[in-house]
Structure 1
Amino acid sequence: MIRQAKGKTPRRPPPKKPSNNQKDPVGVYCRVRPLGAEDEECCIEVISNTTIQLHAPDGLKANRNGEFKETQYSFKKVFGIKTTQRELFEDVAKPLVEDLIHCKNGLLFTYGVTGSGKTYTMTGSPGQGGLLPRSLDMIFNSIGPYQAKRYVFKPDDKNGMEVQNQVDALLDRQKRDSQTTVPKTPTTRRIDPEFTDMISPEEACKADGVDEDSSYSVFVSYIEIYNNYIYDLLEETPYDPIKPKPPQSKILREDQNHNMYVAGCTEVEVKSTEEAFEVFWRGQKKRRIANTQLNRESSRSHSVFIIKLAQAPLDADGDNVLQDKNQVNVSQLCLVDLAGSERTSRTRAEGSRLREAGNINQSLMTLRTCIEVLRENQMCGTNKMVPYRDSKVTHLFKNYFDGEGKVRMVVCVNPKADDYEETLLVMRFAEMTQEVEVARPVDRPICGFTAGRRQRNQAFKEELTRRLEERGGPVDIESPTVLNQLFQSFLHFLPMMIEEYNKTANMLKSVLQEQDSNLLSKENFIQEQRGKLGEKDKMVQNQKNEIDRLEKKSKMLEYKIDILQKTTNIYEEDKRSLQQELESREQRLQREVSEKRRMETRMQGIVTDAKLKWEKECERRVNAKQLEMQNKLWVKDEKLKQLKAIVTEGKTENRQPQRPSREKDKVPAKRSASPSPVPTGPPVRPLHRRSHSAGGERWVDHKPTTNVDLDTVLQPNIPNAIKVNAPNEKALSKCDKYVLTHQEVASDGEIQTKLIKGEVFKTRGGGQAVQFTDIETLKQENPVAASRKRRSSETGPDGEPVEGDWTDVETRCSVAVEMRAGSNLGPGYQHHGYPKRRKP
């Protein structure tokens, strides 16, 4: 058994309600309002008293066959433009009022597009009262003679009623009378003239089957749901002209029977139709309405007028209400005027009007969603949760859809063509609502007193009044003066009554003495009968003893049954608690398993990302290292080739005779380079290698502005090259090769030029990248100094050629001379011309 946490009250189980498998569908009625102008296009046609047909207006597109689609919708009853308010009330609201008087709840709400006549249907106009005033009038016409005095019933602020004793009720009435003596403003005392003659006397109706042995009281409350907040329209707050306070919103709570109600809502006890009208109009003035493009007085909130009827049986004498709270039955009828759905494209709402329209449409959308889920649960056998709490409207009336009373809806439509699309949505929602079934409310038990208590009490009063009238006394028997006179007359006739009593007693005594003789003869017979009765008494006593023994045994068995029943209840409670604990643990285990799976998936993703990242990093480093080693290998191979060529050239020069040097044979410039061989391995980024065109490769010739032009014989020649001073993306996107000309001062003071070459690749991000693959060095030297240095290094002290060691050879051959005209690895060279002869 789960131990309850400290400081928490366990949830009270709901009371057991009598089961009722009978269900009734939601009653949906349709009312068509007249057109505003006779020349307007009409899109609704009443086919029968249960069917209407929608015609698409001329401005809408036709279907694939080139015809406009006509749709028919059926309702419980359709009311045309000639339907009166009385006819509508007789079919829609009168059954709900009769159920209210017989302790059953009811919900009636109007639904439709803005400007379709919902407020007129609910409220009406002078001479044409709507559903609300006619319902009040029928209630007071039915229970008028049986109403309790004011303050006999009192709300307990928990959606219930309690019965006050006569003293407390009298004190509350005196307090009210003392407060009403103070003159009030005319607006709070006078009924608005628009609501004085809403119902003609000949249209008044009355319910049948009213319990005459019960006492009744009517309480009304009026609220509105504005921007999904609940406000009390009957709440009286002191007005502060300096710093007015905004109205405070109310909250929804759940009573002990798990019914929703508005906490702290004002409930006013009314005793007549006129008083109820006054309370209604007082709240109607506070309701939020505004002028829009579609309606001059558009409701900006959902209004709910709640009528509570408290009834309790009279006591055994039929005078006062029975002082038992459990015998009080409270039924309520909710009349809801829903705000109309509207499109901001038509109303052109802005600011607060736009916010109001959004909240109205959202609450109506929640109502549609709840109806759809209820319909799906009933038709498909599912058990989806109905989202009542998403809106205050659905949360307040969720008990009605769960079987706490009948539900009726009046769909108001405007037949003009401009509302066709929105009317089509309303028709679809109404058609779906008719498929929802609500449990039929069960009749509540009535007090077990005998019927006719009020009539007997009334008949006694009438008889007493008649006798007083015959004697010439006053008629009002309830006044203290009449009671005092009755007591004085009783004292006056008391001696005469005693004398008559003594005479009657003496006469009876003589009669009894005469009968004593007759009784003596009968005593013998009585003695015999007594003997027989004694025997019968013994038999009866034995039977009583046996009955007592059986009753004790029966009580013992009942006691054991109670103990077993309590033990069973305890075990069932433990079983339920253990099942709840098991379910909670299973849910927690499932959450932990799902969390573990999510963590495993996340870790696998992290490991995979890290693995891919490190694989790419290793691949990049391996490629970079491989390229570096290849470059080093290419440089070594090139140096060996140059060394071999120089050694071979030196041997050839030693074999051939040396030609005399002339001034005209001076080499004007000497080009030394350390080219790199063509790479034989795969490209670094083969996926982004640019394909070569048939016309050859194009180069980007990057020559900074700081370079110095050298007047040498051989100059680098790059055909079809784009010459730039700084690299840019546009030039790189058009070429495949890239060369950078860089100049610096060598150790011997001559200017040394380096051609840094590379390949252009397209990156995955859409940019351009350059990978350098070769460096070519150009160096300018004096040919005379170079030849002297070569001869001094090639001849010994005897004038004989001496072969130098490897170090001198590598030093001499670190710079090679290349005189080719062009190459696919880089730019070729063209003959620029010999320099001028120097004077000896």
Structure 2
Amino acid sequence: MKTRDDERALGGTNQNLTKARADDFYARQDGASTTYAFDRVFDETSDNRAVYEATTSKIVQNVIGGFNGTVFAYGQTSSGKTHTMHGTKEELGVIPLAVRDVFDAVRRHGSDREFLIRVSYLEIYNEKMMDLFDGAGEDEETSKLSIREDKERGTYVMGLREEVVTTPSQVLALLELGTTRRHVGATNMNAHSSRSHTIFRMIVESRAISGGMQGGADDGAAVLVSTLNLVDLAGSERMSKTGAEGQRAKEGAHINKSLMTLGVVINKLSEGVESKGGHIPYRDSKLTRILQPALGGNSKTAIVCAMTPAASHCEETHSTLKFAQRAKRVVNKATKNEVAANGATNAMLKRQQKEIAALKARLEEEGCAKVDDKAIEALRRRLAEADREKNLMALALEDGEEKAKEREAKISELEAKVKELNDALNEAKARDEEEDPH
């Protein structure tokens, strides 16, 4: 739980929150006080590094070990979510700190494991998905992406560009590029309000190196494949306070709908509905469907709830506190994601290693010089792009087949209606002939 300094724009210096102990809040509303307890509470003097160390650092280490991890920021608009996740050049946020820790861990394990790291950056805007690494137009981009489920990969977005990366600076440059394409807009509460949800994902694959650095990758070793989702949610908002009109009002409605679905999912999970055979409405929004593994599934998950202590936003603050309290009761069951050596069809590291080995052998046969690391990384990027193009083609083919089936169904429906009309016409003619045989 993180509170922000309220000097900027949210208005009001009257406090509705009191930090009672290290991990408790007293919240006041209409003269009554309620106590909320959380794993950690950060006041406005806490910096992003403190939040990161308490919520995300351990999750990053688990991701290196093969477990999925998710961290997301939740709260009303202008409560400090984006600052917490992205930070500034002077004060790095959770995402850049996580990126640095991932590569620090890769360096530490470099003598005994081989790593392949990919990143993607997805935006959900007005319930449409957009690839922030792709400069395509909104309509074109939306048509390329589709949510899919796979036994080995879990829930993923087919057609989303995944960039192979080798350094923190490369990742941060991609993150900065993608962030410039994110939808933002001015409201009464925030001049640069995020109008969409974003999911920055790191996919980490690794396998043991046999005999140290000289031995090369062990072809018989299982591949660890894990994902780290770093999520910056748009803020819940009240139209009366944001002054949103027209497009901004439409955006706010979509934001509130997806956050409401997230709240319903968290509430049902906290009540144990799923364990009792009840329905959890993950599919009611793209956000909850993509984050399904992180919500009561195969992931180690942390939620940073941001809020303001201003009395003028008391109701929104109570809503955030209640959401956090329910989320705290949700229990995930994270397991290590190992892809067996004889079944690693979905591990890109395994496929790329075979391609690279074949290329090296061919070059050596042709008398070429030794292939250096830069050439290998370039090849990996080309192979990743080829994989994406293959998936896009498969998606287009499936869409074409679905549309063809829809056309066939429509034709069959029209033929049935024509037959029904002909039958009715024939019956009418027969009755006329019976009544007037001449």
| TM-score for the superposition, normalised by structure 2 | 0.73
1:383 aligns with 2:354: no
The answer to whether residue 77 in structure 2 is matched with residue 118 in structure 1 is no
> Residues 233 and 286 of structure 1 are in contact (CA less than 8 Å); yes or no, is this contact kept in structure 2?
yes
In 2, Cα distance between equivalents of 1:401 and 1:418: 31
Post-superposition Cα deviations, 1:429-455, rounded to whole Å, max 9, x if no partner, equal 1111111111242475999xxxxxxxx
Render the CA deviation track for 1:747-804: whole Å, top value 9, x for unaligned: xxxxxxxxxxxxxxxxxxxxxxxxxxxxxxxxxxxxxxxxxxxxxxxxxxxxxxxxxx
Q: What is aligned with 2:258?
A: 363
Classify 1:245/1:120 alpha carbon distance in 2 versus 1 (closer, same or farther; 3 Å): same
Superposed CA RMSD in Å reads 2.4
User: Which gives a bigger RCO, structure 1 or 2 (Cα 8 Å, sep 6+)?
Assistant: 2
Matches for 1:222-261 after TM superposition, within 5 Å: 222-237=121-136, 247-249=141-143, 250-257=145-152, 259-261=154-156
- Equivalent residue for 1:79, pick from 27, 42, 58: 42
Question: In the alignment, what sits opposite 2:115?
Answer: 216
1:403, distance to aligned residue in structure 2 (A): 3.1
**Which residue is equivalent to 1:410?**
304
Equivalent position of 2:182 in the other structure: 287
CA distance in 2, matches of 1:212, 1:446: 22
**1:461-610 correspondence runs (5 A):** none
What's the offset of the Cα at 1:277?
0.7
What amino acid does structure 1 have at the position aligned with 2:23?
Answer: T
| AA matched with 1:218 | I
Distance 1:388 1:378, change over 3 A: closer
CA distance in 2, matches of 1:139, 1:215: 14
> In the superposition, relative to structure 1, how do residues 142 and 367 fare at CA in structure 2: closer, same or farther (>3 Å)?
same
Unaligned runs of 5+ in 1: 1-29, 57-61, 63-67, 146-209, 448-478, 481-840
Q: What letter corresponds to residue 414 of structure 1 in structure 2?
A: T
1: CA distance, partners of 2:48 / 2:245: 36
The partner residue of 1:132 within 89, 95, 104 is 95
1:632-656 deviations in Å (ceiling 9; x for gaps): xxxxxxxxxxxxxxxxxxxxxxxxx
Contact 2:273 2:279 in 1 (8 A): no
Of the three residues 150, 156, 166, the one matched with 1:271 is 166
Say if 2:104 is the partner of 1:141. Answer: yes
The answer (yes or no) to whether the contact 2:18–2:27 under 8 Å persists in 1 is: yes
Residue 345 of structure 1 corresponds to: 240
Give the number of aligned pairs.
339
> Which of the pair has more CA radius of gyration?
1
Q: Deviations over 1:347-369 (max 9, x none)?
A: 12111111110111000110111
Q: Is the 8 A contact 1:231 1:248 kept in 2?
A: yes
Contact 1:377 1:383 in 2 (8 A): no
Q: 1:558-583 CA distances to partner (integer Å, 9 max, x unpaired)?
A: xxxxxxxxxxxxxxxxxxxxxxxxxx
Question: CA 1:141–1:446 in 2, change beyond 3 Å: closer, same or farther?
Answer: farther
Contact 2:224 2:337 in 1 (8 A): no
Hey, what does 1:296 align to over in structure 2? Answer: 191
Q: Report the CA distance shift for 1:374/1:69 in structure 2 as closer, same or farther (over 3 A).
A: same
Distance 1:236 1:314 in 2: 38
Does structure 2 retain, via aligned residues, the 8 Å contact 1:233–1:287?
A: yes
Superimposed CA distance per residue, residues 432-481 of structure 1 (whole angstroms, 9 cap, x where no aligned partner): 1111111242475999xxxxxxxxxxxxxxxxxxxxxxxxxxxxxxx88x
Q: Contact 2:67/2:334 (CA < 8 Å) preserved in 1? A: no
User: Residue 384 of structure 2 corresponds to which residue in structure 1?
Assistant: none
Question: Does 1:436 find its partner at 2:330?
Answer: yes
Structure 2 portions without partners, runs of 5+: 342-368, 371-438
Task: Check if 1:55 corresponds to 2:28.
Answer: yes
Q: Give yes or no for contact 1:221–1:268 (8 Å, CA) kept in 2.
A: yes
Please give the alpha-carbon distance, in whole angstroms, between the structure 2 residues aligned to 1:440 and 1:260: 15
Match of 2:319 in 1: 425
Q: 1:328 aligns with which of 198, 223, 243?
A: 223
Distance 1:410 1:374 in 2: 18
**2:223, 2:338 within 8 Å by CA — same for their partners in 1?**
no
Counterpart secondary structure, 2:41: strand
Q: Residue in 1 aligned with 2:14?
A: 41
Write the distance in 1 (CA, Å) between the matches of 2:4 and 2:170.
30
Shift of 1:405: 1.4
What is the identity, as a one-letter code, of the residue corresponding to 2:130?
Y
Contact residue 223 and residue 339 of structure 2 kept, 8 A: no
Shift of 1:40: 1.9
Q: Distance in 1 between matches of 2:50 and 2:174?
A: 26
For 2:298 and 2:61, the matched residues in 1 are separated by 16
- TM-score (norm. length: structure 1): 0.39
